[in-house]
Amino acid sequence: MHNLHFVPTPWKVAKSRGMVHYISPKPCRRGHYSYRPVNRSDCWECKEETRWDKGHRIKRMLLAKAIGASKMGLEFDLNENNVDFPEYCPALGIRLDYSGSDREANATFDRIDPEDGYVARNVRVISGRANRIKSDASHGEIRSILNYIEHESQLHHRPA
């Protein structure tokens, strides 16, 4: 259960009482009167508005990848202008989810050459499912599975 209080409470009072969330008597910078975490200034409504925004999600994806690449010592030069953020996964044809709420359709960065860094010439945006499928399978293994599926489909007269 959240430690929520429905009475508007100044931030200093909320912090001194050990509250986790509070409602400020003043609106946030976007004019909302909504719950706010004591340790941040954004309200829940602001967070929900930006959470589902594709542009915001892309910026978060880029920032997270930049941090990860830096920690792994990989080159990074991605930005919103040098990477294509398609509506559909080029590998599976499913609609990409930029909200982060659908694990299978979630937009992810795919490095074409795993030895190379996160640079525009080496990165494509594909679904999380497609990325997991290809993450640890070799080209030969993927071809073998495809051949198996096609063979089984022909035996059972089902289209592949």
pLDDT in tens, 29-75: 888 888 888 887 778 787 777 666 788 889 989 999 999 999 999 99
CATH of the domain at 111: 3.30.40.220
CA separation for the pair 93, 118 (Å, rounded)? 23
CA separation for the pair 126, 111 (Å, rounded)? 10
126 part of a folded domain: yes
Are both 95 and 16 inside the same structural domain?
Answer: no
Q: Report the mean per-residue pLDDT for the chain.
A: 85
2 part of a folded domain: no
5 part of a folded domain: no
Q: Give 134 or 158, the one with higher predicted confidence.
A: 134
137 part of a folded domain: yes
Are both 113 and 67 inside the same structural domain?
Answer: yes
Are both 46 and 66 inside the same structural domain?
Answer: no
Q: What is the pTM of this model?
A: 0.62
Are both 32 and 61 inside the same structural domain?
Answer: no
Burial 55-88, CB ≥16 within 10 A → b, else e:
eebbeebbeebeeebeeeebebebeeeebeeeee
* Residue 4 predicted with pLDDT over 60: no
- Longest C-alpha distance within the chain, in Å? 72
Residue 138: pLDDT band with limits 50, 70, 90: confident
